[in-house]
Amino acid sequence: MAFKPLANRVLIEREKEVTTTASGIIIPDNAKEKPLSGRVLAVGKDAAEAGISEGDLVVFGKYTGTEITLDGKELLILNSDDILGIIG
C-alpha cells in the first residue's frame, strides 16, 4: 500500500529495538523503550523543502507523532518540526 504524506508530514519506520545490553543482558519487554530514531520512508512537499528526504536516518522527540500500521509494519507519521536532526 502506498502512502504519501501531506504538507510537512514525514512517514518513518523506527529503528529496531535493542533487546540486549552491551554486556549481553536480555532486556524484558516491559522495560524496553521505543527507539527515538528511524528511517524516512516518504516525505510531504513542505518537509522535502525543509531538507528532509527519503532514506534519511532521523532523530525525533519521545512523545511525538501518530503511530499507524501499513502492510503489517508499525510506522510513525511526524510533522517535520518534530524531527530534531538527521544522522550522518
Nearest to 65 by CA among 16, 24, 5, 17: 5
pLDDT, tens digit, for every residue of 2-61? 899 999 999 999 987 666 667 777 766 665 567 799 999 999 999 999 899 999 999 999
Instruction: Give the pLDDT score at 23.
Output: 79
pLDDT reading at 77 higher than 70: yes
**pLDDT value at position 31?**
57
The domain locations on the chain are 9-15+34-87
Q: How many CB atoms lie within 10 A of CB 12?
A: 26
Tell me the fold of 9-15+34-87: 10 Kd Chaperonin, Protein Cpn10; Chain O (2.30.33)
Of 87 and 35, the one with more pLDDT: 87
